Amino acid sequence: MSPASDYAIGWGTLALINSGIAQGKNRSGFNWFLISLLLGPIATFILVVFFDKNRRSGD
């Protein structure tokens, strides 16, 4: 494999991970997947730092 394809696979994997993180925080996984394709690690930082997990009324 070439370094460029390794980079693309890693970037896509990060987008999938960010999608899972977003869904865990009650955000749209698909939207965050698309944002992550553009922003990559910056999107991960935004998800982790700026979005708390939404709590239900009983929590």
pLDDT at 55: 59
pLDDT at 57: 53
* HEC-encoded secondary structure of the chain: CCHHHHHHHHHHHHHHHHHHHHHHCCCCHHHHHHHHHHHCHHHHHHHHHHCCCCCCCCC
How many angstroms separate the CA atoms of 38 and 47, rounded?
Answer: 14
23-59 pLDDT per residue, tens: 999 999 999 999 999 999 999 999 999 988 765 555 5
Domain ranges of the chain: 15-49
